[in-house]
Each structure stands twice: as structure tokens, then as C-alpha cells.
Structure 1
């Protein structure tokens, strides 16, 4: 049986990550020096993998995270469906429990299963899941691409993992993430299995 392998990574570190500022889909930040080093470390560990294609969001921090693979001449497709969730009015701000009660209230509602609730001016997890599905279907419709690399964003990656592994979106916080972490997924044609969870061994 042919197994499709999906290497799913989060983008490398940005200065806004360090400062605790929400980026979302509306802030198109670049990798910082640490993020570029993380990208180089990931390439050093996985540059030998025979990826058929690289998929990213349309935001530059994902492109920069896989640039070394693109420099090899690998085919690349970018989709807004893989963008980070839109945090609406909270994008570009630093959020703490003291500063923004509404933000943390919405996160708690998501954990309770109310995943149709959006941030003010932004998206809900249900919205993100809906725009991801056509991209998932596209990737799975290409059996000739046996091994692919997908680079995206923390919250959106949690939503994607729930969809692929069959968990309700209320469980998305169970999928932890770190800048340039790896989730390795196998797809047999009927189900996904996770082989690596938030793997950061390549960053050591």
C-alpha cells in the first residue's frame, strides 16, 4: 500500500513572536535571525528528503522558512487557505490576560466547543477549517506527490491537525507548537497517522 507522507512545519521565529505580538493573517512579518537559523537547521536535517512539492501559506514567513528547499528547484504552491487565523482587531497588539479579557474569553469558548465564535473582526476556527478543506482535498488528490512539505502557522496548524486526525476543533490546543517544529503524518488513503509530534530535535 502506498503511503503519502506530509511533513508539516510551523514557520521560523519572527521578532513579533519574541515580543508576544499577535500576527495572524494580517501581519506579514519576516523571520528574524533566530528564525533564519531555525530554517537552516531544518534544511540541514531534512534537505535530503525527496519532496515532490512544497506548499505554504501566502505569508512571507512561511516562504522564508522553506527557501532553501525552493532554491533546490522544488515546485512550490501557496494558498491563502493555509494562512494563519485572522485575529481581527487583536492583530499587531500584545495580549496578556490583564490587557484583553475578551481575547482569553474567546479562547476559552473554543476549548468548550464553541468554535464558531470569531474574534472581533476576525475568524473562528470553523472559518479556518472551511478554507483549509479545499487545500487538503487538493493535496490528497495528487497521489503522485508521495512526500510533500507544508509550512504554515501555529493556530492554523492546530486546526489542520484536528481535521486530518479526526479530532474536534475544541481539542486543538492539545497540538502544541514551536517555531520550526515538525509534525510528520502518514496517509494511507483512508486515514492519517501522526509519526512525529512537535519534533524539534533538528533545532538542538
Structure 2
């Protein structure tokens, strides 16, 4: 059985200003985001990971570094960085203020099956989930009895997690948005089709809880 620990990156400047922060843009972790990552690391300090898979975007890489600095089992740990774990691409909307009255924004949040980003050259939900799933399936085959840390992004993680546990596409954003540095644990039995949800959007360890 492979056990996955999915962690969203810490809170950033663009999170705070409520702007689109997709796969083609980055902003630094805020002090609260750094503290969130450190607290997550302390919470997971006695978990011996066989591998850590991290998005190639700086906010995710920094979060992973803060988490792993707290871990007690780093000897021999493999850390891998994947473009396929980058956030969904928002095209021309990258960095723009989020308009909650916009139809496509609402579809992205509530009905991902209806989301069509073609007018602003964004990435489709199907593309996002397909590329992320490819990485998860690869690593579950490589580590059939492993414990794997995944550090990535809000939209990618919530859609990926809901897809992996077998929800319909219309419900791939259900339970979102994930809180910054929240921990979601999934298990996959060897050769099973779907994954089992063990813990969802856990921020119980945080001493300061803020809206993502």
C-alpha cells in the first residue's frame, strides 16, 4: 500500500491579495506561510518518507524545504521536482485580481466540468488532472509500500484528490479550497483502481489558522 501526504504550499503575497496565481507565475511566501510550513514539518517530523515530490514552482519548493528541515528521517530521502505538479495555468489571467462574478471563475470553483478557459488561453481541468495523475501513478508503482510527500498547489491538489478517490468531474472541486499547508492523506492498495481518503484538509496542527 502506498500512502500519499498531499500538502498545499504556504500562504503567498498573491494569495493575500486575491489574485490568480497559476502555473506561470509565483510570489514569495508570507511570514505566516513560512510559519505554516514549519508547523506542518513539525507535525510530520516523525513520518519517514520514501520520496518527496515537489512542484517546480518556488512557493512549493520553499514550502517543501521548510517541511523537510523539521523531519527526523532525511537520510537517503529522494526529493524530486516535477513540472507536472505545477499549478493550473490561467493564461492571460495570471496575476489578475479574481472576479468572483465571472462565469468561468465560478465554474472553476463550483462546476469544473463546465470550465472553459479557451478565451484567456488557460489550461483545461482535464489537462491538469491528467498530468498530475501520471506522476502519482508512476510513483505508486515505484513505491508500492512507500510513504510519499507531495507538495503542490490548491487547484491541482483538490481536483487531483477528488479524481483519485473516484468522484465525478463535476465534483472535483468539492471540499475546496484547500487551506495553505493543509495535509490530505490518501492510500492506494497495490493494483487498486481508486484511492482511499484517510484525512482531508487537516490544519489541526496550526497555531494560527487563516483563510486561504
2:154 maps to 154
Q: Is the 8 A contact 1:57 1:81 kept in 2?
A: yes
Q: Is the 8 A contact 2:87 2:155 kept in 1?
A: yes
Q: Is the 8 A contact 1:70 1:76 kept in 2?
A: no
Q: Which runs of 5+ in 1 are unaligned?
A: none
Q: 1:134 to 1:193 in 2, by over 3 A?
A: same
SS of match in other structure, 1:173? coil
Once residues 19 and 195 of structure 2 are traced to their aligned partners in structure 1, the CA distance between those partners, rounded to angstroms, is 33
1:177-196 equivalence runs, <5 A = 177-189=178-190, 190=192, 191-196=194-199
Once residues 193 and 105 of structure 1 are traced to their aligned partners in structure 2, the CA distance between those partners, rounded to angstroms, is 28
SS of match in other structure, 2:142? coil
Once residues 179 and 96 of structure 1 are traced to their aligned partners in structure 2, the CA distance between those partners, rounded to angstroms, is 21
Q: Could you list the runs of 4 or more consecutive aligned residues of structure 1 that deviate by over 6 angstroms after TM superposition?
A: none
TM-score, scaled to structure 1: 0.89
1:123 maps to 123
Cα RMSD over matched residues? 1.9
Q: Which stretch of the first structure deviates more once superposed, 127-136 or 12-21?
A: 127-136
Q: 1:51 to 1:105 in 2, by over 3 A?
A: closer
Once residues 127 and 23 of structure 2 are traced to their aligned partners in structure 1, the CA distance between those partners, rounded to angstroms, is 13
Q: Which stretch of the first structure deviates more once superposed, 26-35 or 148-157?
A: 26-35
Once residues 64 and 33 of structure 1 are traced to their aligned partners in structure 2, the CA distance between those partners, rounded to angstroms, is 12
Is the counterpart of residue 174 in structure 1 residue 177 in structure 2? no
- How big is the shift at 1:112? 6.7
SS of match in other structure, 1:174? coil
1:12-161 equivalence runs, <5 A = 12-71=10-69, 72=74, 74-97=77-100, 101-104=102-105, 106-107=107-108, 111=111, 113-115=113-115, 117-119=116-118, 120-143=120-143, 146-161=146-161
How many residue pairs match? The answer is 198
Once residues 112 and 125 of structure 2 are traced to their aligned partners in structure 1, the CA distance between those partners, rounded to angstroms, is 13
2:6 maps to 8
Q: Which runs of 5+ in 2 are unaligned?
A: 208-212
Q: 1:59 to 1:193 in 2, by over 3 A?
A: same
Q: Is the 8 A contact 1:185 1:192 kept in 2?
A: yes
Once residues 154 and 146 of structure 1 are traced to their aligned partners in structure 2, the CA distance between those partners, rounded to angstroms, is 24
